[in-house]
Amino acid sequence: MSNIITVDDLCLWYGSTQALHNINIEIPEKSITALIGPSGCGKSTFLKTLNRMNDLIPDVKTTGKIIYKDRDIFSPSVDVNILRKEIGMVFQKPNPFPMSIYDNIAYGPRTHGITNRIKLDEIVEESLRDAAIWDEVKDRLKKNALGLSGGQQQRLCIARALAVKPDVLLMDEPTSALDPISTSKIEELALQLKDKYTIIIVTHNMQQAVRISDQTAFFLLGELVEYGNTEEMFSRPEDKRTEDYITGRFG
């Protein structure tokens, strides 16, 4: 399996506080990589460097490289808008736009210049189908997206991210605000999507990492402590700190 993202000696500072220390990791394509670790350990910060969302925060400084498709994403020649189209993001709390279900999905393609109604109709249907929510919303596409349940809103946000045809989908604790039934739907969805997309998911829920991920990365105090095959890491962790975390001794 080839790697879609290679991170080389990545460090990040917020002002004078260093949040990430010398992160080195290779992420294989069309797989699910889980990022685990206690709150404030750097996993969401790391996730947001992968499509340069941290650029939006003042006083952020990064060193090192993130190679995506043979280019360093920090290179001045990289168009951040195109990068964020190819590396999409789904946030912790569902955040649909206050507009119709249809317009939520068509929003991204329209900003990238697609205006043909037939084409947009196709993209909307395909994205909602890929996010396993088409059957629930196909008769109410003109209704406001804010009328959907929390779990449906989160699948809508996944569909919205898929509408611009990304290669990579970043998910920042996408189920932490959801009930168990919605959570299992999102997990099933992630497993289906990895045939087409590379998924990197931050999760507080270690059972979730075990259930859906191929690789797991354990972060602690801004460092990448251990990274490897999920099953192996959870059954035979190499680092004592990983073992202490996954057995519940801290965190």
Q: Is 74 exposed, middle or buried (0-12, 13-18, 19+ CB in 10 A)?
A: middle
Strand order in the sheet with 17-28: 17-28, 3-14, 60-68, 71-72
State how far the Cα of 32 lies from the Cα of 182, in Å rounded to an integer: 19
Mean pLDDT of the chain: 96
pLDDT at 58 over 80: yes
What is the reported pLDDT for 250? Answer: 73
pLDDT tens for 96-143 read 999 999 999 999 999 999 999 999 999 999 999 999 999 999 999 999
pLDDT tens for 210-225 read 999 999 999 999 999 9
What is the reported pLDDT for 65? Answer: 98
What is the reported pLDDT for 249? Answer: 82
Other Cβ atoms less than 10 A from the Cβ of 61: the count is 12
**Segments in 87-229 forming alpha helices (H):** 101-111, 117-130, 134-137, 150-162, 180-193, 206-212
What is the reported pLDDT for 85? Answer: 94
Residues 214 and 32: beta-carbon distance below 8 Å: yes
